[in-house]
Amino acid sequence: MDSRPRLGHSAPMPHDHSDHDHPHALLPPEPALRVKALETLLTRKGLIDPAALDEIIDTYENRIGPRNGAEVVARAWSDPDFRAALLKDATAVVAEMGFFGRQGEHVVAVENTDAMHNIVVCTLCSCYPWPLLGIPPGWYKSDAYRARVVREPRKVLAEFGVELSAETAVRVWDSTAEVRYLVIPQRPAGSEGLDVAALADLVTRDSMIGTGLAKAP
């Protein structure tokens, strides 16, 4: 079947309205009540199982978070073969560790070196590797981060207390597709001899986004 887009008048136009005409304006003005109203309506229509909502919330509040990514990074620091495999095909490697699914369907790992520091953003929305890092922090979704980090990454890094050497180039990854990026921070000095669990404790969420460095032991 021809999956190419139809052209011309058959292509649906986007529907632009004044703010007032959007259906969402029919909901109560207060955000908490807006959510409540929608949940109540959809539950009464049989389209929402409130227990399913609880299950989703429990998943992202308690089960999936940045400790997953930290485990991946700690293994990459400890095992050169694992690191090479991760850099070659992160999707397969992290899936084998049990990290896959929504917002982590396609994963690419990028490594920080003395010559290159990587930072991840999504300027158009808030794309983020959920199975590895959980729900993105507020600042990752903020206008300030989205607007500024592509243009002045070093100023943004300074706001996180990170200063890079002039020898280090910055590469900012704008997640414009369904590929999700994981930064492998540099292994901190003095961490020789630590096991994978102790190394994982040094890996911060921000270090895997690129706005931070791994902690010193």
Partner 1 sequence: MTRVHDMGGRFGDGAVTPEAEDVVFHADWHPRALALTLATGALGKWNIDVSRHTRECLGPADYARFSYYEKWIAGVADMLVARGVVSREELAGTADPTPSPLTEKTLKAPQVAGVLARGGPADRTSNIAAIFAPGDAVVTRKQPENTIVPGGHTRLPAYAAGARGRVLRLHGTHVLPDSNAHDLGEAPEPLYAVAFPASELWAHPEHPRDEVVLDLWQSYLEIP
Q: Which of the residues 55 through 74 are near partner 1 (CB under 8 A)?
A: 55-57, 59-61, 65-66
By CB under 8 A, tell whether 49 contacts partner 1.
yes
Binding residue (CB under 8 A) for partner 1 from 159, 163, 198, 215: 159
Q: How far is the CB of 126 from partner 1 (least distance, A)?
A: 7
By CB under 8 A, tell whether 89 contacts partner 1.
no
Active site residues: 122, 125-127
Query: Could you say which residues in the range 120-139 bind partner 1, by CB under 8 A?
Result: 121, 123-126, 134-135, 137-139
CA atoms within 13 A on the CB side of 128: 22
Which among 74-82, 165-173, 183-191, 193-201 is the span making contact with partner 1, rule CB under 8 A? 165-173
Cβ proximity of 153 and 173 under 8 Å? no
By CB under 8 A, tell whether 31 contacts partner 1.
yes
Distance of CA 24 to the CA centre of its chain: 27
Cβ proximity of 118 and 112 under 8 Å? yes
Q: How far is the CB of 84 from partner 1 (least distance, A)?
A: 16
Binding residue (CB under 8 A) for partner 1 from 69, 129, 153, 185: 153
Alpha-carbon span 88 to 182, nearest angstrom = 13
Binding residue (CB under 8 A) for partner 1 from 11, 80, 81, 195: 11
Query: Could you say which residues in the range 174-203 bind partner 1, by CB under 8 A?
Result: 174-179
Which SS3 state, helix, strand or coil, does residue 42 take?
Answer: helix
Cβ proximity of 109 and 185 under 8 Å? no
Binding residue (CB under 8 A) for partner 1 from 114, 129, 182, 205: 205
Binding residue (CB under 8 A) for partner 1 from 27, 85, 87, 97: 27
Work out the number of other CB atoms within 10 angstroms of the CB of residue 176: 12
By CB under 8 A, tell whether 163 contacts partner 1.
no
Cβ proximity of 182 and 110 under 8 Å? yes
Alpha-carbon span 208 to 200, nearest angstrom = 12
Binding residue (CB under 8 A) for partner 1 from 149, 194, 202, 213: 149
- Amino acid letter at 97? M
Query: CB-wise, 48 or 97, nearer to partner 1?
Result: 48
| Residues 6+ away with beta carbon under 8 Å from 141 | 126
What is the DSSP secondary-structure string of 61-122?
Answer: IIISSHHHHHHHHHHHHH-HHHHHHHHH-HHHHHHHTT--STT-SEEEEEE--SSEEEEEE-
Query: CB-wise, 66 or 185, nearer to partner 1?
Result: 66
